[in-house]
């Protein structure tokens, strides 16, 4: 399956879920005063956040979605109008 | 510091929740910028801030003595005897009391803090996966180096004007003769005799 077929929305959801999970773990690691809290942060929380950021960046690079602010050129293009006629 | 970081994390979570439940928001340019901030900038800052807090925390005396094998070493800081070098430094604030372990055991080189963190991870492995060592049997690999003492004492008047130090200065600087040599400052963390020693009780 190509990345472009997955869709930016699905990738954004995955990215958000990973970032949220990582940030929640980071809060736990900050409030937990224990030698393992550093391991929890470095190997789990930071990894999840970094993976979430990576998925977000991948969605920007490989998946392109037309912006709502841009005018819908396809409807007014000559090709479209020719086809309709 | 932690409070500010947690506030930043909470803001980041709230922003990320928008894109988890309403990913279609990113169709507009404003929300695209919001996604960039919420899913890239803020989480990145949270990683940096979190690492900073954890690294600073790992330098505290409380953190070092939170491992079971280090508890007797923490107790040895309260020995009521001026000959005990770590206790004397800790009790008289010759080193910051909240960073007593790190002040004397840190590797004062460019990559020293990184090496210390890697060594700390190895100790965590020994504690939780392998067999933790007996506290009294713990030895610093390669021995305690004079550079740790000289980092603070070199240049100090009381150190430089001491006739014994002056006579042995070259040997001390080149680490040929340890500061902890027998007859010099040879009492450090006397874990084996901890039960027979008197302890200092701070007022607070």
Q: What is the pLDDT of residues B176-195, one digit of tens each?
A: 999 988 789 988 888 888 88
User: What does the pLDDT read at residue A26?
Assistant: 95
Note whether B124 contacts A65, CB cutoff 8 Å: no
Pair of tokens at residue B46:
């949270």
Note whether B63 contacts A33, CB cutoff 8 Å: yes
d(CA B114, CA B14) in angstroms, rounded, equals 33
d(CA B139, CA A8) in angstroms, rounded, equals 55
pTM for the full predicted model: 0.79
Note whether A52 contacts B19, CB cutoff 8 Å: no
Confidence of residue A74 (pLDDT cuts 50, 70, 90): very low
Query: CA of B174 to nearest chain A CA: how many angstroms apart?
Result: 35
Kindly state whether A64 is in contact with chain B, defined as any CB-CB distance less than 8 angstroms.
no
Note whether B23 contacts A13, CB cutoff 8 Å: yes
Confidence of residue A1 (pLDDT cuts 50, 70, 90): low
| Beta carbons within 10 angstroms of residue A70's beta carbon | 8
Q: Which DSSP letter does residue B38 get?
A: I
Confidence of residue A80 (pLDDT cuts 50, 70, 90): very low
Confidence of residue A84 (pLDDT cuts 50, 70, 90): very low
The answer to whether B26 and B35 are in contact (CB under 8 A) is yes
The answer to whether B105 and B148 are in contact (CB under 8 A) is yes
Rounded to an integer, what is the distance from CA B57 to the centroid of its chain?
Answer: 8
Kindly state whether A52 is in contact with chain B, defined as any CB-CB distance less than 8 angstroms.
yes
Cβ neighbours of residue A15 under 8 Å, at least 6 residues apart?
Answer: A52, A53, A55, A56, A59, B19, B39
Residue from A11, A21, A22 to probe the interface with B (highest B Cβ count within 10 Å): A22
The answer to whether A59 and A15 are in contact (CB under 8 A) is yes
Residue from A19, A36, A44 to probe the interface with B (highest B Cβ count within 10 Å): A19
Q: Is residue A85 pLDDT above 70, yes or no?
A: no
Residues in chain B with pLDDT values less than 70: 204
Pair of tokens at residue B8:
């930043």
Contact residues on chain B for A19, CB-CB shorter than 8 A: 12, 16, 38-39, 43
Distances (CA, A) of B185 to B88, B105, B180, B203: 11, 16, 5, 28
Cβ neighbours of residue B23 under 8 Å, at least 6 residues apart?
Answer: A8, A9, A10, A12, A13, A16
Q: Is A16 exposed, middle or buried (0-12, 13-18, 19+ CB in 10 A)?
A: buried
Q: What is the pLDDT of residues B15-35, one digit of tens each?
A: 999 999 988 888 888 888 999
User: What does the pLDDT read at residue B191?
Assistant: 86
Q: Which fold would CATH assign to domain B70-196?
A: Multiheme cytochrome fold (1.10.3820)
Confidence of residue A79 (pLDDT cuts 50, 70, 90): very low
Query: CA of B91 to nearest chain A CA: how many angstroms apart?
Result: 24
Residues 22-81 of B with CB under 8 A from A: 23-24, 26-29, 32, 35, 38-40, 43-44, 46-47, 50-51, 53-54, 57-58, 62-63, 66-67
Q: Is residue A7 pLDDT above 50, yes or no?
A: yes
| Nearest CA among B5, B68, B69 for reference residue B42 | B5
d(CA B74, CA B63) in angstroms, rounded, equals 10
User: What does the pLDDT read at residue A65?
Assistant: 60
Region of B65 (left: φ > 0; alpha: ψ -120 to 50; beta: rest) is alpha
What number of helices (H) and strands (E) belong to chain A?
6, 0
Confidence of residue A75 (pLDDT cuts 50, 70, 90): very low
Query: CA of A58 to nearest chain B CA: how many angstroms apart?
Result: 12
Contact residues on chain B for A39, CB-CB shorter than 8 A: 121, 124
Q: What is the pLDDT of residues A12-70, one digit of tens each?
A: 999 999 999 999 999 999 999 888 899 999 999 999 999 999 999 998 887 766 555 55
The answer to whether B86 and B103 are in contact (CB under 8 A) is no
Kindly state whether A10 is in contact with chain B, defined as any CB-CB distance less than 8 angstroms.
yes
Q: Identify the bridge partners of residue B79 per DSSP, sorted by sequence position.
A: B199
User: What does the pLDDT read at residue A3?
Assistant: 62
User: What does the pLDDT read at residue B139?
Assistant: 83
């Amino acid at each position: 399956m190509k990345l472009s077929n997955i869709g930016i929305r699905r990738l954004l959801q995955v990215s958000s879920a990973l970032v949220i999970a990582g940030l929640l773990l980071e809060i736990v690691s900050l409030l937990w005063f224990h030698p393992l809290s550093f391991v929890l942060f470095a190997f789990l929380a930071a990894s999840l956040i970094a993976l979430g950021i990576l998925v977000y960046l991948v969605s920007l690079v490989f998946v392109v979605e037309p912006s709502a602010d841009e005018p819908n050129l396809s409807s007014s293009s000559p090709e479209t109008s020719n086809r309709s006629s | 510091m932690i409070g500010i970081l947690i506030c930043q994390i909470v803001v980041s979570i709230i922003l990320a929740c928008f894109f988890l439940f309403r990913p279609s928001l990113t169709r507009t340019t404003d929300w695209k910028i919001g996604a960039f901030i919420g899913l890239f900038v803020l989480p990145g800052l949270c990683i940096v801030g979190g690492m900073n807090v954890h690294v600073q925390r790992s330098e505290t005396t409380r953190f070092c003595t939170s491992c079971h094998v280090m508890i007797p070493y923490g107790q040895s800081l309260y020995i009521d005897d001026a000959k005990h070098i770590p206790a004397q430094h800790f009790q008289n604030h010759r080193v910051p009391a909240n960073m007593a372990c790190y002040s004397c055991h840190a590797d004062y080189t460019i990559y020293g803090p990184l090496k210390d963190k890697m060594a700390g991870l190895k100790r965590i492995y020994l504690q939780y996966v392998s067999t933790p060592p007996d506290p009294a049997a713990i030895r610093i690999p390669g021995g305690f180096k004079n550079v740790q003492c000289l980092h603070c004492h070199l240049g100090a008047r009381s150190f430089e004007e001491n006739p014994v130090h002056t006579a042995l200065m070259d040997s001390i600087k080149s680490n040929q003769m340890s500061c902890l040599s027998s007859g010099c400052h040879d009492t450090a963390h006397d874990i084996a005799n901890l039960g027979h020693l008197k302890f200092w009780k701070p007022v607070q």
